[in-house]
Amino acid sequence: MINNVISPEYNEEGRVMRRVRSFVRRQGRLTQRQEDALQSEWAAMGIDFVAQPFDFATVFNNQNPVVLEIGFGMGTSLVTMASQNPDKNFLGIEVHAPGVGACLASAKEENVTNLRVMCHDAIEVLDCMIPDGSLSMVQLFFPDPWHKAKHNKRRIVQSPFADKIRSKLAVGGVFHMATDWEPYAVHMLEVMSNAEGYKNVSSSGDYVPRPETRPETKFEKRGQRLGHGVWDLMFERTK
C-alpha cells in the first residue's frame, strides 16, 4: 500500500508546486482491525496508484458496470452497496488510511468480492487511471463543504471537476452527489446546472429524494434526528 496519496508536481526550476486541494489528509491512528485488514486484504482488494489506465474487465474479472465512489469515509455504505449489488463492480477512493482499513475489514467480514479500493488523490486517479466513458456512476457523498467563504475554492465540485466526471461516465451514466450542508447543495446545483452534457434527473429541476441505492449512514440518521437536512443531486450524462 502506497502511503503517499499525492504525487508532487514540479515547476521548471524543480520546485514542488503548491496545488489547491479539496481535502486535508488527517493522520489518524490505525486500530488493530484496520491494520490487520490492510495487511491481509490489500493484495486482493487494494490497488496502488500507477499512471496507466485501468482495464476494468481484468481488475474485476468480468464485464459488469463500474461504480466509482470518491471519498468513502469508513466505507460502511460502500460495502453495503457492493454487497447488495453483486451485478456491479465498485471502486472506492479514500485518502485516509484508517478509513481504507475499515472498509477492507468490513468487506472481508461481508464476503464482498466486487469491491476494489485505493488510497490516493481521486483527481490524479481520474486523470491517469480511469478510462474515458468507462463508468456507469460516480458517487460523491458528504464531501467537505469548506464552510468559510475564503475556502470555497477548495470545494471539489467546481466546473472543471464536473467536466472531468462527465468524460469518465458512459453516456447515460449518472453523477450522484449528496451533502448535509445546504449552501453547498445550492453550489452543487448551480455548478451542475451550468455544466455541459448533463441532464438533471430531478423532475423538479433541483434535488431528488434519497434513492434506495444510497444507504443511510449513522451520521446521516443522527443529523436527521437533530433536524438537519440532506440534499441529493443526480445528473445524467447526455452526450
pLDDT tens-digit series, residues 103-124: 999 999 999 999 999 999 999 9
Torsion of CA 79, 85, 87, 89, to 10 degrees: -30
Of 194, 192, 181, which Cα lies nearest the Cα of 233?
A: 192
Q: Which pLDDT score is estimated for 13?
A: 52
Is the C-alpha dihedral spanning 116, 119, 125, 128 positive or negative? negative
Residue 37 has pLDDT above 90, yes or no: yes
127 is catalytic: no
Q: Determine the longest span between alpha carbons in the chain, in angstroms.
A: 54
Rounded Cα distance, 107 and 91, in Å: 12
Rounded Cα distance, 142 and 73, in Å: 9
pTM of the predicted protein model: 0.88
**Residues 157 and 191: beta-carbon distance below 8 Å:** yes
Q: Which residue ranges are tagged as binding site for substrate?
A: 148, 180, 217-220
Catalytic residue among 144, 163, 206, 232: 144
**Position 148 confidence tier, pLDDT thresholds 50, 70, 90:** confident
Residue 71 has pLDDT above 60, yes or no: yes
Chain Cα centroid distance, residue 85: 17
Cell numbers 486523470 correspond to: 127
Q: Which residue ranges are tagged as binding site?
A: 69, 94, 121, 144, 148, 180, 217-220
CATH superfamily placement of domain 38-237: Vaccinia Virus protein VP39 (3.40.50.150)
197: exposed, middle or buried (Cβ count in 10 Å: 0-12, 13-18, 19+):
middle
In sequence order, which residues have a C-beta less than 8 Å from that of residue 54 and are 6 or more positions away? Answer: 129, 130, 131, 134
